[in-house]
């Protein structure tokens, strides 16, 4: 898997799994001076109390990555207590290359939640975004609070995480239900023990406020931003909080902020089914398809049989971790994010069905951001921390999962049962949720471009339709195709429309579709 695809797969994989005059040093738009619909109280502090954060001057230094500079941004741990403890956030940029007049800074976020924006910038966006865009904007990223280089949430050791990823997520009896529940509780307890201070303060609302500090520190009156997957929720939240400071916002692979956690998870489950059907339709046309050449339906049955087989008897991988059903399922899901990974998945399934599981294990490891030495990035820890803070838990306990399984299996006969149980992860979370599902309208914001892909596995197309309808200034751009997100994935039509919006401020006509 090439580095760009690995970044896309790991950093944007977990969208659901899972809101005064521009440029003043205040930090409080009219919408941010009261309790937001997301349920997180806006800071009681006056703009004056936040002035030290808005007025800071970054000390840019060499990153050790050619062409990029790095700096540290200070922010309050708790916006309600700006004179209290502070946190440090990692920022990186690459300056506009020219020619043409500089338009300002373009902030990028790859999603997750938990994906490193700095890693995404340095590994892809800062060198791989269209040249005309990089010519006119300083490309900038900040790792969100709790993520990667910014006060990272930590929960489990590498060996503990290895064990966690192998726990059976399609329990067949009470003992297996208890084992899965215990695994989630151990995960949550580890987060509380290792990251108790930051854990209550990694909400999307707080991260959006951090972005506004960065906007001011960079000297921009308006925030220009490209967010993918969960990054669309972050961008929409910023627009809700600071509508008058919205510049050019691209929300690609959109989430729907109005949905509760169980609906988000169920919809995403259906998205994976749709994506698998597209993969299977491609696979069965090939004589070497490991799932047969009869039909999409027969391929689905063959995959379900394979999952049952490795649940009963995991296959070796050449490592101490055999390939059981949980890791096998994760490996398949990882390849659903990018149709460019389908050949790799066919090969991995061929080998695994033949009794050698290293290919699917490698795909699962890329999803979890596991390194060869057995260490993990904090993607999964931050993902749970943000999701469990942003929305109330999907279930009160295992009994609720049992009731929900039929609806998940209807959404996806292949992945439904496992993803229904996976949504149990926030039930035992140590920090109460501070957010709640709600519509985001961002009244008064400049035009916002929402992008949806018709067969997106992780952020179903109907979410983009819903967000574009909610936003008072939203415009929907549709990509008729496969994979997660659309920008920079090979469609000249999509790229031209987004580039025009970023460079000229003109969104495409409503209803524009590309393929």
The Cα 219–Cα 236 span in angstroms is 21
Q: How confident is the model at residue 11 (pLDDT cuts 50, 70, 90)?
A: very low
378-414 pLDDT, tens digit each? 999 999 999 999 999 999 999 999 999 999 999 999 9
The Cα 61–Cα 134 span in angstroms is 20
H-assigned helices in 284-324: 296-312
Annotated catalytic residue: which of 105, 484, 491, 495?
A: 484
Verify whether residue 229 is a known catalytic residue: yes
pTM for the model stands at: 0.92
Provide mean pLDDT across the span 41-46: 44
Annotated catalytic residue: which of 150, 229, 466, 491?
A: 229
The Cα 55–Cα 391 span in angstroms is 32
Classify residue 347 as exposed, middle or buried by CB count within 10 Å of its CB (0-12, 13-18, 19+).
middle
Classify residue 358 as exposed, middle or buried by CB count within 10 Å of its CB (0-12, 13-18, 19+).
middle
Q: How confident is the model at residue 471 (pLDDT cuts 50, 70, 90)?
A: very high
User: Would you state the pLDDT for residue 440?
Assistant: 98
Verify whether residue 295 is a known catalytic residue: no
Annotated catalytic residue: which of 456, 466, 473, 491?
A: 456
Nearest to 106 by CA among 514, 452, 499: 499
Nearest to 87 by CA among 148, 155, 151, 154: 151
Tell me the two tokens of residue 239.
């627009």
Tell me the two tokens of residue 229.
């997957």
Nearest to 470 by CA among 251, 228, 243, 256: 256
Verify whether residue 484 is a known catalytic residue: yes
Q: How confident is the model at residue 49 (pLDDT cuts 50, 70, 90)?
A: confident
User: Would you state the pLDDT for residue 31?
Assistant: 33
User: Would you state the pLDDT for residue 48?
Assistant: 81
Q: How confident is the model at residue 27 (pLDDT cuts 50, 70, 90)?
A: very low
**Do 353 and 306 contact (CB within 8 A), yes or no?**
yes
344-389 pLDDT, tens digit each? 999 999 999 999 999 999 999 999 999 999 999 999 999 999 999 9
SS3 label, residue 369 = coil
The Cα 168–Cα 181 span in angstroms is 11
Provide mean pLDDT across the span 15-28: 32
The Cα 340–Cα 330 span in angstroms is 17
């Amino acid at each position: 898997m090439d580095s760009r695809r690995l970044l896309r797969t790991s950093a944007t994989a977990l969208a659901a799994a899972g809101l005064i005059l521009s440029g003043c040093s205040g930090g409080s738009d009219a919408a941010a001076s009261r309790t937001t619909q997301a349920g997180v109280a806006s800071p009681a502090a006056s703009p004056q109390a936040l002035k030290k954060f808005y007025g800071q001057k970054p000390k840019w230094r060499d990153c050790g990555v050619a062409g990029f500079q790095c700096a540290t941004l200070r922010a309050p741990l708790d916006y309600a207590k700006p004179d209290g403890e502070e946190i440090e956030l990692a920022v990186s940029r690459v300056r506009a290359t020219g020619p043409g007049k500089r338009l300002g800074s373009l902030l990028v976020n790859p999603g997750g939640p938990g994906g490193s924006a700095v890693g995404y910038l340095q590994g892809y966006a800062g060198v791989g975004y269209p040249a005309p865009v990089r010519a006119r904007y300083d490309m900038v990223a900040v790792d969100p609070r709790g993520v990667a280089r910014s006060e990272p949430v930590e929960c489990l050791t590498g060996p503990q995480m290895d064990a966690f990823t192998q726990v059976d997520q399609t329990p067949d009896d009470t003992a297996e239900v208890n084992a899965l529940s215990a695994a989630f509780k151990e995960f949550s307890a580890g987060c509380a023990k290792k990251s108790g201070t930051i854990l209550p303060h990694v909400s999307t609302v707080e991260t959006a406020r951090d972005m506004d500090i960065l906007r001011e520190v960079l000297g921009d009156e308006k925030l220009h931003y490209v967010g993918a997957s969960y990054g669309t929720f972050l961008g929409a939240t910023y627009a809700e909080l600071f509508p008058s400071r919205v510049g050019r916002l691209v929300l690609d692979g959109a989430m729907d902020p109005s949905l509760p956690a169980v609906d988000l998870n169920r919809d995403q489950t259906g998205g994976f089914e749709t994506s698998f059907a597209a993969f299977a339709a491609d696979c069965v046309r090939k004589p070497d398809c490991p799932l047969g050449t009869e039909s999409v339906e027969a391929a689905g049955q063959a995959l379900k049989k394979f999952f049952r087989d490795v649940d009963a008897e995991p296959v070796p991988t050449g490592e101490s971790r055999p390939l059981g059903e949980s890791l096998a399922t994760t490996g398949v899901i990882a390849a659903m994010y990018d149709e460019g990974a389908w050949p790799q998945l066919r090969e991995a399934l061929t080998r695994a069905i033949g009794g050698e599981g290293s290919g699917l294990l490698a795909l699962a490891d890329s999803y979890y951001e596991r390194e060869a030495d057995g260490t993990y990035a904090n993607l999964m820890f931050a993902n749970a921390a943000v999701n469990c803070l942003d929305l109330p838990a999907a279930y009160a306990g295992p009994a609720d999962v049992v009731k929900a399984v039929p609806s998940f299996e209807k959404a996806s006969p292949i992945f439904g049962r496992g993803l229904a149980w996976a949504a149990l992860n926030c039930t035992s979370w140590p920090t109460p949720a501070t957010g709640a599902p709600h519509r985001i309208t961002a009244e008064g914001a400049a035009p916002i471009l929402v992008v949806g892909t018709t067969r997106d596995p992780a952020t179903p197309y109907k979410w983009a339709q819903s967000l574009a309808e909610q936003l008072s200034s939203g415009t929907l751009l549709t990509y008729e195709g496969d994979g997660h997100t659309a920008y920079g994935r090979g469609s000249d039509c999509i790229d031209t429309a987004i580039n025009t919006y970023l460079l000229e401020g003109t969104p495409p006509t409503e209803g524009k579709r590309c393929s």
